[in-house]
Amino acid sequence: MEALKQRIIKEGKVMPNGILKVDGFINHQVDPQLMDACGQEFARRFANCGATKILTAEISGIAPALMAGRHMNLPVVYARKSKPITMPDQVYLTVAPSHTKGRLVELIISPEYLAGGEKILIIDDFLASGATIVGLARLAQTAGAKLVGIGTLIEKTFEGGRALLSYLGIPIVSLVRIASMEDYQIVFAD
């Protein structure tokens, strides 16, 4: 998606440890218009996927998921990383390694909002190693829901997430694909 790509060129910054910093428009400061355009693009790409619900993980997945949900007229559930007191005792819980936090994080969903028979579209900000998305997929499958697609804003193709997720056999859409960040230079895949 050209608008997102141009914004990455203009403001994205490669950090040590292979982190792409996009804190100016996705991860700390958010550009609502850009996120809305991304949501519209997800809606276009997943128009026929039959999703009944969008699933994401807090925190950075919320903005793109919410805008996709707006354009697709679907509710959005975000997996929590800690269990709030409003959640019932019995929950769906898994753990996934977090690249930016450097440790395992929990992903927790209340059974109230993830039922068997739902068709789940996963939306997240990054597809890197794929670990978070595997965690979300595991939660959805544990609940008896069916996965129908995965959409991410930015894919780092060199981290292998797409191959890891191929076992799911569902469409994977990334709006921008980055093939390399060697020597702190962003090289796009397309």
Write out the residues near its own copies by the rule CB under 8 A.
Answer: 15, 17, 19, 21, 23-25, 27-33, 35-36, 58-59, 62-63, 66-67, 69-70, 73-78, 80, 82, 84-87, 100-102, 109-110, 112-113
Who contacts 152 (Cβ-Cβ below 8 Å, separation ≥6)? Answer: 123, 124, 125, 126, 127, 133, 172, 173, 174, 175
CA gap 186, 19 in Å, rounded? 11
Residue 158 · residue 174 · CB < 8 Å: no
- DSSP-derived secondary structure for 115-154: -TT-EEEEEEEEESS-HHHHHHHHHHHHTT-EEEEEEEEE
Cα gap 130→96, rounded to integer Å? 10
C-beta of 31 vs 106, nearer to its own copies: 31
Q: Of 9 and 115, which CB lies nearer to its own copies in the complex structure?
A: 115
Shortest spacing between CB 171 and its own copies, in angstroms: 21
Q: How far is the CB of 65 from its own copies (least distance, A)?
A: 8
Quote the least distance from Cβ 166 to its own copies, whole Å. 29
Whether the CB-CB separation of 119 and 148 falls below 8 Å is answered with yes
Minimum distance between the CB of residue 77 and its own copies, rounded to whole angstroms? 5
Q: How far is the CB of 60 from its own copies (least distance, A)?
A: 9
Is residue 73 classed as helix, strand or coil in its secondary structure? coil
Whether residue 131 contacts residue 96, with contact meaning beta carbons closer than 8 Å, is answered with yes
> 21 or 45, CB closer to its own copies?
21
- Residue closer to its own copies by CB (options 31, 141) is 31
Residue whose CB is less far from its own copies, 100 or 166 = 100
